[in-house]
Structures are given as structure tokens and as C-alpha cells.
Amino acid sequence: MSLPIIILCLISAILAVTMLFAKSPITSALCLLGVLIMTAGVYGLIGEHMIATIQLVVYAGAIMVLFIFSIMLLNLSNSENDFKQKPKIFIFGLAIGLSVFAFIANSILTHFQNHSSDRQLGIFTPQVVSDLGGNSKVLSHALFSQFYVSFEVISLALLVAVVGAVVLAKRKID
């Protein structure tokens, strides 16, 4: 790993811890935004520009705007007391979180660049992807040929969610 990646990872880790322990909801939301942008930076530095850009467009540009917008609209800053951790639940949650983290870290450390494992690698090595004309081309080709049914089903699910949200909001206003 190169130095810039390590710096980004460190900043991202610090922001993640701050997000957990921050008192005001807007600080938490902004720290999460920072984590997402730093992750996008890591993706960009390892050469995966497509994923980095999608991360910025979808998470930083759309989802977090919605979060912060609703925090501002509801003016949650008055309810800072709700965010105090209760020790017992906190320790329980910490234990679960740590065990999940240990499992993921173990599985990544075993399989990362370890081709002797029993998992089969896909056909898309970095060389193949760049020969086929870059990540965005390969990804969109796969999405609109091999996986077009699942792609359409997901868009249908999103449409259902939009209609549902409108119905719920409309009932409240009427």
C-alpha cells in the first residue's frame, strides 16, 4: 500500500470513530460524509475510478444530502440527550461489532491476493478490463446484457418505493 492510501484510511478511521461518539446528529452525518469521500479517494487511488465516482454521485451527492437536509428540517440539535449511550447496551453492541469486524478482517486477509484459496477468481482481471476498454464500459455491458432482468427488477422495486413514499406523504398532508 502506498502512503496516500494509508493517510486516507487513517483519516477515514478517525472520522468513523468521531461519527460514533459525536454528540450532535449533524456532526455524525458530516463525519459519515467524510468517511464516504475518503473511501471514494481510496477507490480512486487504486485505479477504480468508476467505483469512486459512483460512490461520490450516489452516497455523497444524493443520500447524505437527504440525511443532512432532514436533520436540518427536523432541527434535531435539541435532542442531543437521546444520543447518550447506556453502558450495558453499548458493551453488548461493541462485542457484536468487534466480532463482525474480526470475521470480515480475517476473511479479507485470507483471500486478498491469495490465489491458492478455494474461491474461484472471476474472469475480469485488471488486464482484461483495460483491454475491453475500461471499467465503465465493462460494467455497463454486463449490466445491460447479462444482468438486464435483475437490473429492471431493481428499478421496478425503486419505482414501488417512490410510489409508496408519495402515497404516505400525501395521506399525511390531506
Partner 1 sequence: MESSLVFDLTMMMAKILVILAGTLGVVPIMVWFERRGAAWMQRRVGPNRVGPFGLLQPLADVIKFIFKETFIPKEANKFYYLMAPIIALIAPLCALAVIPFGSKAIINGQEVILQVAQMDTGVIFILAFAGLEVYPVILAGWASRNKYSVLGALRGSSQIVSYEISMGIALLSMLVVYGSFNPHDMVAWQQGSLGFLPRWGAFVNPIGALIFWISIFAETNRLPFDLAEGESEIVAGYHLEYGGMKFAAFFMAEYVAMIMASGLLATLFFGGYGLPPGMSELVNIISAHFGFGAAGMQNTKAAFEFISFATKIAVFMFLFVWIRWTLPRFRFDQLMDLGWKILFPLSIINLVVVTLGVYYFNS
Contact 51, 43 (CB under 8 A): yes
CB of 135 to partner 1, least distance (A): 6
Q: Contact between 15 and partner 1 (CB under 8 A)?
A: no
CB of 92 to partner 1, least distance (A): 32
Q: Contact between 89 and partner 1 (CB under 8 A)?
A: no
Say which amino acid occupies 88: K
CB of 20 to partner 1, least distance (A): 18
Q: Contact between 31 and partner 1 (CB under 8 A)?
A: no
Q: Contact between 45 and partner 1 (CB under 8 A)?
A: no
Instruction: Report helix angle 64-74 to 25-45, nearest 10.
Output: 170
Maximum separation of any 2 CA atoms in the chain, in Å:
62
Q: How many positions of this chain bind partner 1 (CB under 8 A)?
A: 22
Q: Contact between 134 and partner 1 (CB under 8 A)?
A: yes
Between 65 and 153, name the residue whose CB sits nearer to partner 1: 65
Q: Contact between 72 and partner 1 (CB under 8 A)?
A: yes
The residue from 8, 15, 22, 30 that contacts partner 1 (CB under 8 A) is 30
Q: Contact between 111 and partner 1 (CB under 8 A)?
A: no
In the chain, count of helices (H) and strands (E)? Answer: 8, 0
Between 119 and 141, name the residue whose CB sits nearer to partner 1: 141
| Distance between CA atoms of residues 71 and 60, nearest Å | 16
Q: Contact between 60 and partner 1 (CB under 8 A)?
A: yes
